Amino acid sequence: MKFYSILVIFLTSLLLLSCSPNRQSPYRKQYAANIKAIRPAVLQLVNKHAASTNWMTIENKMTYYTIEAQEVFTCATPTLVIASINDISERDDRIYITAYSYISQIHFRLECSRYLADRILVATLREKTRYNDFAFIIAPAEVSRPIAELTAYVEGEQGEEYAMITTTSAQFTIVTGICVDAMPLNMTVHRSSDVFRLESE
């Protein structure tokens, strides 16, 4: 019995140590250090444009209704968002940035100036951060969730054919607007709220 008592105490102590908030993996420590390094520049960007950070209330939710995203974005201009750039394109003499937030499942389609697009291109080529995140200041215009209509043709009991239409909503949200400013972060940010409040720094 004495042996088992000692074993239980040892395993309990080991479990408590492994769950201690003071023990961090090397990756977590490096991530916290990187966040701490970019925080002043992000805060400066927010203050420069008097930008809202309310979109983090959506980002931190697993699921949300479109109306919640509409209230966050359309009621606050300008707004800070952190997202990865997917593409930069030109159409009808206008430049568009397509970015994506993996946590919140939001696609951003933002019109921007050629000057700002050139700045972003230079930054991604110089720092090789094409797949890393940017801090964007955006002026949101519209928030929507695409709806797909699927049509299947089914044969009835008498051999007749009729259409069965199914409507489904996409699992992602699209935000369109204007990109006012952008800053490369040279890292991947798990959640925007980490920039403002990261535990166990």
Of the candidates 53, 66, 38, 59, the one whose C-alpha atom is nearest the C-alpha of residue 102 is 59
DSSP letters spanning 38-74: HHHHHHHHHHHHT-B-TTHHHHT-SS--HHHHHHHHH
Whole-model pTM?
Answer: 0.73
pLDDT for 200: 39
- The three-state secondary structure class of 18 is helix
Domain that holds residue 65: 25-188
State mean pLDDT over 104-124.
89
pLDDT for 131: 57
What is the distance between the terminal CA atoms of the chain, rounded to a whole angstrom? 42
Contact of 142 with 176, CB cutoff 8 Å: yes
pLDDT for 157: 67
Residue with tokens 């709220």: 193
The answer to whether position 142 is within a domain reads: yes
The answer to whether position 196 is within a domain reads: no
The answer to whether position 16 is within a domain reads: no
The answer to whether position 165 is within a domain reads: yes
- The three-state secondary structure class of 104 is coil
Q: Residue 199: CB partners within 8 Å, gap ≥ 6?
A: 21
Residue 198 pLDDT exceeds 50: no
The values of phi and psi at residue 48, to 5°, are: -60, -40
The answer to whether position 34 is within a domain reads: yes
pLDDT for 31: 84
The answer to whether position 13 is within a domain reads: no
The answer to whether position 10 is within a domain reads: no
The answer to whether position 138 is within a domain reads: yes
Distances in Å between the alpha carbon of 21 and those of 24, 25, 170, 194?
7, 11, 38, 16
State mean pLDDT over 21-45.
82
Residue 22 pLDDT exceeds 80: no
Counting the structural domains of the chain, the total is 1
Q: How far apart are CA 51 and CA 79, in angstroms?
A: 5
Q: Where are the alpha helices (DSSP H) in 112-179?
A: 114-127
Residue 121 pLDDT exceeds 90: no
pLDDT for 150: 61
Q: What is the pLDDT of residues 172-182, one digit of tens each?
A: 788 999 999 99
Q: What is the pLDDT of residues 150-168, one digit of tens each?
A: 666 666 666 666 566 665 5
